């Protein structure tokens, strides 16, 4: 199945417009950990969060946004953790496999201090750890991952379920949806246009 959607990349407004257009998207800072792994990060569907990102440090309101078409013919190499339940379940399966294997190893670890540290770390297992482990071991068959978070200042919510025990569920909107495109998948980003500059 073909996948096609718009995405927006924010960068500093440095050098010329031509330079930005020719070189965007810019790779994530390799010296820092990235939550979905190293690659090209873009906001999806709308430029809303691309502008919000441009206002933050170190861009501080001096930024450019480049627009791309994300075009992919093979959806099997796209992990959609926002809009595809099967992809979410597959990722949960990957997390469970990794965490379950580690739990067994930790339980058998004879070094008490190490076992204690590892248990604490495992209880805070990060998304980035899981993804980076399987990328490093060449067992992560995806060229792009779409994910979202809920930002406390940008995301609103309305309750839509109130059950008898008082538990409420909410619809959050808008969620900060973004994609990372890994280096070997860069060609899915097509038809770049300088969308905004300030």
Partner 1 sequence: MKKHHKDMLEAAKNLLANIPSEDLLDEFLELQENSCGPTVRDFFQSLMSSTNELYGLMFLNNNKDSYAGMYKMDLSEWSIPCILSHSADFNIKSANDEKYHLHPQEMKKNDSFLNEDIDFALAS
Judged by the rule CB under 8 A, the positions of this chain that interact with partner 1 are 32-36, 76, 86-90, 92-95, 97-99, 101-102, 105-106, 108-109, 114, 117-118, 121-122, 124-130, 132-134, 136-137, 139, 141, 147-150, 152-153, 157-159, 162, 167-170, 172
C-alpha triplet 57, 63, 64: angle, nearest 5°: 145
Cα separation values, 91 from 5, 80, 142, 153, Å:
22, 10, 11, 27
- For the CB of residue 171, give the shortest distance to partner 1 in the complex, in Å: 10
Nearer to partner 1, 16 or 141 (CB): 141
- For the CB of residue 192, give the shortest distance to partner 1 in the complex, in Å: 27
Nearer to partner 1, 69 or 149 (CB): 149
Helix (H, G, I), strand (E, B) or coil at 187: helix
- For the CB of residue 71, give the shortest distance to partner 1 in the complex, in Å: 19
- Report which DSSP code applies to 13: -
Give phi and psi for 44, each to the nearest 5.
Answer: -105, 155
- For the CB of residue 31, give the shortest distance to partner 1 in the complex, in Å: 11
Nearer to partner 1, 18 or 139 (CB): 139
- Report which DSSP code applies to 92: H
In 3D, which of 151, 127, 170 has the Cα closest to residue 49?
151
- For the CB of residue 50, give the shortest distance to partner 1 in the complex, in Å: 19
- For the CB of residue 40, give the shortest distance to partner 1 in the complex, in Å: 17
Nearer to partner 1, 99 or 194 (CB): 99
Return the structure tokens found at 31.
């010296």
Sequence-ordered list of residues with C-beta below 8 angstroms from that of 114, at least 6 positions apart, any chain: none
Nearer to partner 1, 129 or 192 (CB): 129
Quick check: 100 and 122 in contact, CB under 8 A?
no
Nearer to partner 1, 60 or 101 (CB): 101
């Amino acid at each position: 199945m073909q996948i096609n959607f718009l995405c927006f990349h924010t960068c500093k407004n440095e050098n010329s417009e031509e330079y930005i257009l020719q070189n965007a998207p810019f790779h994530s800072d390799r010296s820092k950990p990235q939550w979905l792994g190293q690659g090209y990060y873009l906001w999806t569907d709308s430029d809303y969060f691309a502008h919000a990102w441009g206002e933050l440090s170190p861009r501080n309101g001096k930024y450019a946004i480049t627009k791309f078409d994300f075009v992919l013919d093979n959806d099997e190499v796209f992990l959609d953790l926002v809009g595809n339940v099967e992809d979410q379940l597959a990722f949960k399966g990957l997390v469970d496999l990794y965490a379950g294997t580690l739990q067994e190893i930790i339980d058998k670890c004879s070094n008490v201090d190490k076992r204690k540290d590892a248990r604490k770390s495992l209880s805070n297992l990060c998304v980035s750890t899981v993804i980076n482990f399987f990328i490093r071991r060449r067992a992560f068959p995806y060229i792009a991952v779409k994910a979202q978070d809920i930002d406390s200042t940008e995301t609103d919510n309305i309750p839509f379920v109130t059950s008898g025990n008082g538990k409420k569920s909410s619809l959050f909107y808008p969620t900060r949806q973004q994609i990372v495109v890994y280096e070997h998948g860069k060609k899915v980003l097509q038809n770049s246009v300088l969308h905004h500059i300030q």
